[in-house]
Amino acid sequence: MFNTMSIRARLIMAFAVLLGLLLTLATVSLQRLDRLTTSTQEIVNVLERRALLAKRINQHAQAEAIILLNLLQTATRDDRVRLYAALDEEMAASGQAVSDLDLTMLSADVQQEIDHVTDLRQRYAILLQETVELIEIEGTSQARSFFEARTQKVLNTIMFDTRALEEHMQQEMQTELLMLKQSASTAKQLVIVLAIIALLVGALMAWFIARGIVIPVREAVLVAQRIANGNYAIDVPVDQRGEIGILLQALRVMRNSIASREAKIMRLAYVDNLTNLPNRTRFIELLESRPSDEQGVLVLLDINRFAPINDALGHTVGDRMLCAIATRVQQLVKSTDIVARLWADQYAVLLRGVDQAQAQATVLRVIDALRAPILIDGIRLDVDISAGAVLFTSNLADTNCLFRFAGLALATAKRHRDPLVFASKMSTEPVPAQLSLIGDMREALTRGEFVIYYQPKLNLAQHQITAAEALIRWQHPVKGLIPPIQFIPFAEQTGFIREITPWVLRQVIADAAQWHRDGLLVVPSANLSTLDLLNHSLVLDVQHLATQSGLPAHRLCLEITESALMDQPELALQHLNELSQFGFKLSIDDYGTGQSSLAYVQTLPVNELKIDRAFVTGVDVNSKNAAIVRSTILLCRELGLSVVAEGAETPQEQAWLKDNHCDLLQGYVVAKPMPLAEFIPWVKKFNQA
């Protein structure tokens, strides 16, 4: 019954019992003390009165004896009359004391003594009367003889007995006081016993309450700890009521809710909702948990032209196609192999315990099976698959490396239109040193590590330096001078080129404005990438920089490549027209390497063409290069464009280009790129010479 009570009821009951015991203890103690006090006071009063009365009887007896002796020695009548009066008073007082003592409810033995004293007094009174009469009739001598013979004996007995009575009263008073002390000690012991009983009962109830609360709470804590450790199958006790029962019920609800939510979370974390395959996270965990000595192959499968299917038929059809492909792949591999969907239209397969030849046969079989048409709502879908694979022979192979090599192999397969490429057959891979430079470029720009080098352009007709190309270099504090080929392509891929180009333009325009003020007639050219040319703020930014620095627009040339015009030709042409209308010179860089050179030359508002070094090199000995360069020079002359030959390195090439009326020459035969501090003195010295 106690265990079924609520904690509140248990505490109320415990405090009520303890309060009752304390009240009982206090009541009993007060009653005992009141009784003891009253009894003590009464007994003390009675005993004191008895002792006082006994003392008075003895004192009156002594006074009577003294007066009687005085009577026997007094000769005159008048003196004896006064003594008779005093004797009567003492006799009356003594008698009254005896009567008062007799009324104090004496014990039997004391009562006997009082009765005996009373009898003696009566005898004494008779003898005293006779003695007094003898005094008055026969004289004092005869009375003295009678007194000594009879009265004195009785008087002595009275005095002895009254003294004994007084001592008896004193002894009785001591006895009663001793009994009172014993009664007080008994009351004290009773209070102590009741207090001990109250403490024991309180401790016992506290133990029962603690046991009734702590044990279920401890069980609840144990259950909560196991739930926290992921043991959701643990049974929660159901035999408790009250607050503990409510707590355990809450634990049951919590366990069920957490188990349900964790199952959902685990599914979201590890399962692809569309195909019910393991997702990328789960696949990586399984890949990393493989036995250390296991050999296998990691395969990445990618659906070619999946986006057009999604766009044409909708995502619903695309999702059903992904599910169908997942089912086919699972059916074509062993049960011990692992199939996962990484994202979108890419799957991963872990072929376990196979070598490269076995894996190749399995993957090709899978690809052939996936190429079979898939029917969805009567629509026949033909699927083409590319695969990249990498072989691993131990757990020492890093998971990231495996995915990187498999991804590179997949990219190679898609680029070469091969069904399967193994990473072992690849000849190139990204250079980690180059990858690390990408993360340093932003800090380098902030720290001012980029510098501008200028490469002179020689005017062949005037034999003067009239132009120069601005080339960016990276002065790395640790790696030294880094050429643009090692970081510009990556800057273009990552979009960071949009932050580099504005910095280059600010530097070049500032330098050109200073040259113009100093009378140095050299036109610098700056390169624009595809992202720069498609930047909507490009035109306004360049115009603002030129106007702010005081540089005439025709004193700056902007170089673009043909590839920069391929992505959004309308927007690129619009920006070029705006730049040309403002007065900037425009140049087509790497002319001859594009696919539509003549069409662009016809429509673009450009001022010059730069013939790529591939055609300039050996132009004096290579007839095909000579024909291409000669025809380009003639074309530009007809169109009113200047021609810049790029990459000339020998005097023979320079002489041929001059004989064929090329306008400008840029290359090592003239000079290498130089920093600004070297470039200006060199140009001045060259032009003066």
- Mean pLDDT, consecutive 10-residue segments, the chain of 689 residues? 58 70 70 66 64 71 76 74 77 74 63 73 75 75 76 77 74 76 76 78 74 71 74 67 70 75 76 90 88 87 84 84 91 92 90 91 91 86 89 73 87 84 61 59 89 96 95 89 83 82 95 95 92 88 94 94 70 90 91 61 86 91 93 91 94 94 95 95 92
Q: Please compute, for residue 563, the number of CA atoms within 13 A of its CA located in the half-sphere on the CB side.
A: 7
Do 561 and 532 form a contact (C-beta atoms < 8 A)? Answer: no
DSSP string across 547-576: HHHT--GGG-EEEEEGGGGSS-HHHHHHHH
Does the global pTM surpass 0.75? no
**Which amino acid would we find at residue 244?**
I
- CA distances from residue 284 to 297, 298, 342, 402 in whole angstroms, order as listed: 14, 11, 10, 11
Distance CA 277, CA 279 (A): 6
- For residue 596, the model assigns a pLDDT of 47
Distance CA 133, CA 140 (A): 10
- Domains of the chain (ranges, CATH numbers): 2-202 (1.20.1440.210), 280-425 (3.30.70.270), 454-688 (3.20.20.450)
- For residue 502, the model assigns a pLDDT of 93
**Which amino acid would we find at residue 48?**
E
Question: Do strands 346-352 and 674-675 pair parallel, antiparallel, or not at all (unpaired)?
Answer: unpaired
Q: Give which of 340, 349, 347, 370 is closest to 277, Cα–Cα.
A: 340
Helix, strand or coil for residue 470? strand
- For residue 25, the model assigns a pLDDT of 67
Question: Do strands 338-343 and 346-352 pair parallel, antiparallel, or not at all (unpaired)?
Answer: antiparallel
Distance CA 341, CA 323 (A): 10
pLDDT in tens, 301-324: 998 888 788 777 888 888 888 999
Do 205 and 213 form a contact (C-beta atoms < 8 A)? Answer: no
Tokens of 506: 């600010």
- For residue 506, the model assigns a pLDDT of 95
- For residue 427, the model assigns a pLDDT of 44
Distance CA 345, CA 132 (A): 155
Pinpoint the alpha helices (H) of 448-596: 488-494, 497-518, 530-533, 538-549, 569-582
- Residues with Cβ within 8 Å of 567's Cβ and at least 6 positions away in sequence, in order, are 530, 534
Q: Give which of 435, 524, 451 is closest to 483, Cα–Cα.
A: 451
Sign of CA dihedral 52, 58, 60, 62: negative
